Structure 1
Amino acid sequence: MADVFDPQGTLERLRRDYRQRAEAIRDDLARPHDADATERAGERQNDEVLQALLAEAEAGLRQVERARQRLAEGRYGLCRRCGQPIEPARLAALPVAELCLHCAGLER
């Protein structure tokens, strides 16, 4: 028997993953920097990469929260543009999807 897509469980796992990722990055960013000037330059570059990764994790967390809100309101799985159901395969691949494939293609 095929697995049934569980949006609530899937979104909760994504939420937990994004939170853990963001927390680990914040911890890494909070670490003290080396006193050596050469090392500090490399650490600043690393911090820029970490800041970008943190921004991605926080954006993902916001998407998950919006999807959880839609689920609570009974609107999860409905395209926010046309109102039609989002394809189940799309939701399984991208649980935070707000648009059906057709409307997503129109926004590109």
Structure 2
Amino acid sequence: MDTRERLEDERRRTLRQLASLTRDFDAVVEASLDSNADDEHDPDGSTIAFERSQVDSLIQQSHRHLAEVDAAIERLDAGVYGTCETCGRPIAPARLEARPTARQCIACASARR
């Protein structure tokens, strides 16, 4: 599978995950409509609030990942995919295989931490 196919496949997978998480979020919100609105005194209320927060966090994470994949596709189209944005050297193929959205080589990514 070439780079474009791998990135497009990752984009499709992320969109499917986002759609599933959105359905889950909608179901949690719908369930909360039937519950007591007093989360402090209703034992189920805090569970629903926690679930809603967890699913929302996963949705936000999926949106960020989708943006990273789209940026990687843009770099591919611009002919700079696989080039470290910090030092300008090539990013190791093994790193791109493991993390296709990588913007930095391992040395620059490690230095940033």
TM normalised by structure 1 equals 0.89
User: Offset of 1:106 from its aligned partner?
Assistant: 1.2
| Cα distance in 2 for residues equivalent to 1:48 and 1:61 | 20
Distance 2:70 2:57 in 1: 20
- Residue identity (%): 30
Judge conservation of contact 1:79–1:98 (CA < 8 Å) in 2. Answer: yes
- Superposition RMSD on alpha carbons, in Å? 1.3
For structure 1, the 5+ residue unaligned runs are: none
Normalising by the residue count of structure 2, what TM-score does the alignment of the two structures yield?
A: 0.86
Match of 1:36 in 2: 35
User: Any gaps of 5 or more consecutive residues in structure 2?
Assistant: 37-41
* Separation of aligned partners in 1, 2:72 and 2:97: 13
CA displacement at 1:70 relative to structure 2: 0.1
SS in 1 for 2:31: coil
What is the CA–CA distance in structure 2 between the aligned matches of 1:13 and 1:60, rounded to whole Å? 13
Aligned to 2:2: 6
2:16 to 2, 13, 20: 20
Q: Radius of gyration: which is bigger?
A: 2
How far, CA to CA, are the matches of 2:35 and 2:108 in structure 1?
Answer: 52
Aligned length, in residue pairs: 104
Give the equivalent residue in structure 1 for 2:109. Answer: 104
Moved more, 10-19 or 63-72: 10-19
Choose between structure 1 and 2 for higher RCO, CA contacts under 8 A separated by at least 6 residues. Answer: 1
In the other structure, the counterpart of 2:63 is: 58
Q: Which residue of 1 aligns with 2:94?
A: 89
Which letter does structure 2 place at the counterpart of 1:29? Answer: F
Whole-angstrom CA distance in 1 between matches of 2:35 and 2:24 = 18
Shift of 1:19: 0.7
